[in-house]
Amino acid sequence: MALTYEPIVTYTVGSAVSDISFTSITNTYTDLVISISSISNGTNNPTIVTTINGDTGNSYSGVQVYSRSSGGAAGNKNIDASFISLGRATGISGVNNGKSMMTVYLFDYANTTKFKGLLCQTYNYFGGVEQDVATWRSTAAITSINFNAGGNSWGVGTVYTLYGIKAA
Amino acid sequence: MPIIGSLAGASSRGLGGLRTFIPPIPPSSPVFDSISTSFLTSSTPDIYFNSIPSTYQHLQFRINGFSDNFGSIFMRINGDTDVNMYSSTGYWGQWNQANAQVSGILTGRPAILPGVGSFQFGTTYPYVMIIDVLDYKNTNKKKNIRSFHGASTNGTHYNDGVGVSGGNYNSTTAINSVHFYLDGGNVFRANTRIALYGIKES
């Protein structure tokens, strides 16, 4: 029986990397889900710089809301940005070897007639919890996505998985 | 299973740092099924999911929507229009507000408002939402939903925001139909997709 929600590929980081990329994504599915169970390789927690199909133009916008372990709840927005800001406060831990979790939901990623929307939830023990929304103002099908850890990097043992979901 | 068996799913960047490639092991039977999908090729004011099977433990709706002129989405259960049967609550962040906002308990509406925070379906920018309906067929407890939702319009509309919401249907009746509609007489535009999935318990 065909699966509706299936893992496409999973990787475990063997030595620290600054970029996590998925390329050559097929158009087989309706939605994509990306989970990153990360281990920080530094002491800063920058926003995760996310780009789609290699686009670094001002094609992105987003809103983030987060509740931090210090500083309380806050929000932020980006317009005409050159990347999507994900996990701005909590996507990667500011504590060396600290754990964090991030799940990204991409909707109708292969559709070629509308802009692309995504949701993201992140959490880390030392940082707090966060929800993000973003739009990529392009009607192109998404075939690749890159997550850059800014001034930090993903440490040994970080696991990231790409899943596909098929709608009837 | 596309991609599996090669490294086509990952960039060559950083591959030197990758220690382990773990091929996924397909489960012996699916636990997350696609039940039905509504994908619009023209505008419509209502989207119905009727005769929902009782073979699952939970339901999930995945929504990518547009409307003709900004409308908030409502979720009516089993055709019940009694305003005393529903309540909704949520918190959210919005582009023009520095801090997170909370709603309190919203009542007096003939349906759940799964996108608490005044977020509305727009004409160009996608509104994305995931709704989980927990224990939908259980006849011993009232029904709850949770949703994660948002839209980013590049700052062009107050609709910009992201939030999480909860909703209650004050009935122990099993859920067998769900009706989505927009307020203010707005209609869902073409390209809107609402997909219903069923989640099984082992």
Picking from A139, A140, A109, A117, the residue whose alpha carbon sits closest to that of residue A27 is A109
Kindly indicate whether the ipTM for this predicted assembly is greater than 0.90, answering yes or no. Answer: yes
Residue in this structure with the two tokens 């959490």, named with its chain if needed: A123
Which chain A residues contact residue B39 at CB under 8 A? Answer: 167
B14 pLDDT higher than 70 = no
- Ranges of each domain in chain A: 18-158
The DSSP annotation for B57-73 comes to SEEEEEEEE-BSS-B-E
pLDDT for residue B201 is more than 90: no
Nearest-neighbour CA in chain B from A151: distance (Å)? 16
Question: Does A65 contact B162 at a Cβ distance shorter than 8 Å?
Answer: yes
Domains by residue range for chain B, with CATH:
29-199 (2.60.120)
* Residue B83 or residue B159, greater confidence: B83
SS3 of B2, please? Answer: coil
With CA atoms as reference, report the closest residue to A15 among B7, B23, B14: B14
Residues of A in contact with B198 (CB under 8 A): none
Residue B30 has pLDDT above 80, yes or no: no
pLDDT tens readout for residues B167-180: 999 999 999 999 99
pLDDT for res A151: 86
Answer yes or no: is pLDDT of B13 > 50. no
Q: What CA–CA distance (Å, rounded) separates B154 from B87?
A: 31
Residue B15 — very low, low, confident or very high, per pLDDT cuts 50/70/90? very low
B158 or B19, greater pLDDT: B158
- The mean per-residue pLDDT over the stretch B182-190 comes to 93
Find the radius of gyration of the CA atoms of chain B. 19
Residues of B in contact with A167 (CB under 8 A): 34, 37, 39, 62, 193, 195
Average pLDDT over residues B72-99: 91
Across the interface, do B161 and A20 touch by the CB < 8 Å criterion? Answer: no
- DSSP structure string for A15-57: S-BSEEEE-S--S--SEEEEEEEEEBSSS--PPEEEEETT--S
Which of B127, B148, B191 lies nearest to residue A113, judging by beta carbons?
A: B191
Instruction: Of B18-32, B109-123, B144-158, give the lowest mean pLDDT range.
Output: B18-32
Strand order in the sheet with A48-52: A19-22, A145-148, A48-52, A84-86
B196 close to B52: Cβ distance less than 8 angstroms = yes
Which residues in A lie closer than 8 A to residue B14 (C-beta atoms)? 17-21
Q: What is the mean pLDDT of each run of 10 residues along chain A (168 residues)?
A: 86 94 95 95 90 98 86 86 92 89 97 97 88 97 95 93 94
Tell me what percent of chain B is helix, strand and coil, each rounded to the nearest 5: 5, 40, 55
For B11, other C-beta atoms within 10 Å of its C-beta total 16
Mean confidence (pLDDT) of chain B = 85
Which has the higher per-residue pLDDT, A127 or B67? B67
Residue of B nearest to A111 (CA): B191
Instruction: Measure in Å the smallest separation between the Cα of A30 and chain B Cα atoms.
Output: 10
pLDDT attached to residue B100: 80
Task: Give phi and psi for B185, each to the nearest 5.
Answer: 75, 10
